[in-house]
Structure 1
């Protein structure tokens, strides 16, 4: 009986220590996040177009209260938070108009960029309204741009971020695949959907390569969106939305909270 009591007491001490350490770790992580100066840059996938709840003061940038940067900031209350991501932004727009909040005090930066440079919107319009051959031709044109021109544009953005925020951790976030394949689904052919998904992978690979070159983390959202693509029946992406055409092929509020937010959070 005495041995049993000693063992039970020891187990209790061990459990208490584990709980205390876990609590301390959580508190330390929370304190660490609260001490961060965070700046969110990028295009519509960061501004939250398609998620609703837009800030009227953001105008055409369509910054949403349901976008992953705002959700992360609300959950972690960083010491400062600047949200300059803007719908429709290209790499040149980031360097010209989004970097003002960055400084030597900036600790954390997130960014999605490159899709508009590669002509994402035009690819989707061509594929939806034109023939299958026109769709494939436009995708091949975009892939050629990704090979020839996009790397230099990304380098310009990434270098500008490092110049203004030399100590910041930079998380570069990619784009999802858009279609669930092998499903009965109205709209584009299976061949076109597969080519669009392949183009998204191609773009992500190019972005990840340039991010790594600059020592930045690349966050891949494809696994998080798997099972939630268009035609999946549990979509986290808008298909063509005639009542709000700009939101087409953008994450819903669920795509921001269930896809982008946890992937970003895992990097911080």
Structure 2
């Protein structure tokens, strides 16, 4: 082998190694944003305690403080927020911790700023599913809670697999991942999981109003039903509608209130002129395919419309 060939070979090996390391790092980041990297129960429980606050005395009727004595104030209701990354606030930035990626701009924290609610438990966590809500998160709710919100189900039907195979590394397996998620969403087992979540919350906090918030459609579509950037966007939107319908039917049958945010996000999906959903970005993969701060404002507004009495 000549010196030139030797140098070329070494350069080629170094380049391949560099590319392999970069790809490995990016895949690790991808796993984090899509919920594949799941915090352990101990970490998540710690996050739930540290990011929730007790009843705030500075609010009207908040128990002393500036409220003045004797009636006329608004009584704060103890509020708990459960669910997955859409409940913890992934996509909004301003993260309070990086085990569950709870955000100060999440809809639970925005609702905590209302005069009538105090967020006392916030176990929602990126990457979690109905099993985690049932087996871990519900136990963190105070039995005296009067409002409980939950957004969950997306990870049960393979959100991470669909995002990775249809939009990050699109390929021939995209359609099978969508079909697999649709099959799970249409199964009796998934319906039972949603019912069990509502039943479990009601058993833990019998006096609570349970509010189940659905998912926004991630992608904007033009008049022809096409997203200019992503070929599979319309199918994923269609399956999201189906998923929301299943969650709504199950949740309401168990006595919860369902909040459908599809209309609230209409015209603000990925590809729109004013997106409330973060597109895929390698440099900010943690936020990708989740609402931005404006999106969580819309979530909070939709939930506020539910009467609490």
* Cα pair 1:136 1:195 within 8 Å, conserved: no
Matches within 5 A, 1:60-75: 60-75=99-114
- TM-score under structure 2 length normalisation: 0.71
- TM-score under structure 1 length normalisation: 0.81
Cα distance in structure 1, aligned partners of 2:103 and 2:94: 5
Specify the alignment match of 1:233 in structure 2.
273
Cα distance in structure 2, aligned partners of 1:117 and 1:80: 26
Change (3 A) 1:169 1:140: same
Q: Cα deviations across residues 29-53 of structure 1 (Å, max 9, x unaligned)?
A: x945x43111011111110011011
Candidates 32, 40, 43, aligned match of 2:81? 40
Q: Cα deviations across residues 238-267 of structure 1 (Å, max 9, x unaligned)?
A: 11121132321100011101x201001111
Cα distance in structure 2, aligned partners of 1:236 and 1:246: 15
Matches within 5 A, 1:1-268: 31-32=73-74, 34-56=75-97, 59-76=98-115, 78-79=117-118, 81-128=120-167, 129-131=169-171, 134-148=173-187, 149-182=189-222, 187-189=229-231, 192-257=232-297, 259-268=298-307
For these two proteins, the number of residue pairs brought into alignment is 233
Shift of residue 170, structure 1, vs aligned partner = 0.4
Cα distance in structure 2, aligned partners of 1:35 and 1:186: 46
Specify the alignment match of 2:33 in structure 1.
none
Specify the alignment match of 1:6 in structure 2.
none
Change (3 A) 1:103 1:156: same
Give every structure 1 segment of 4 or more consecutive aligned residues whose post-TM-superposition deviation is greater than 3 Å: 183-187
Specify the alignment match of 1:21 in structure 2.
none
RMSD: 2.0
- What runs of 5+ residues in structure 1 fail to find an aligned partner? 1-29
* Cα pair 1:123 1:135 within 8 Å, conserved: yes
Question: What secondary structure, in the 3-state scheme, does the structure 2 residue paired with 1:105 have?
Answer: coil
- What runs of 5+ residues in structure 2 fail to find an aligned partner? 1-71
Change (3 A) 1:80 1:199: closer
* Cα pair 1:173 1:218 within 8 Å, conserved: yes
Change (3 A) 1:197 1:103: same
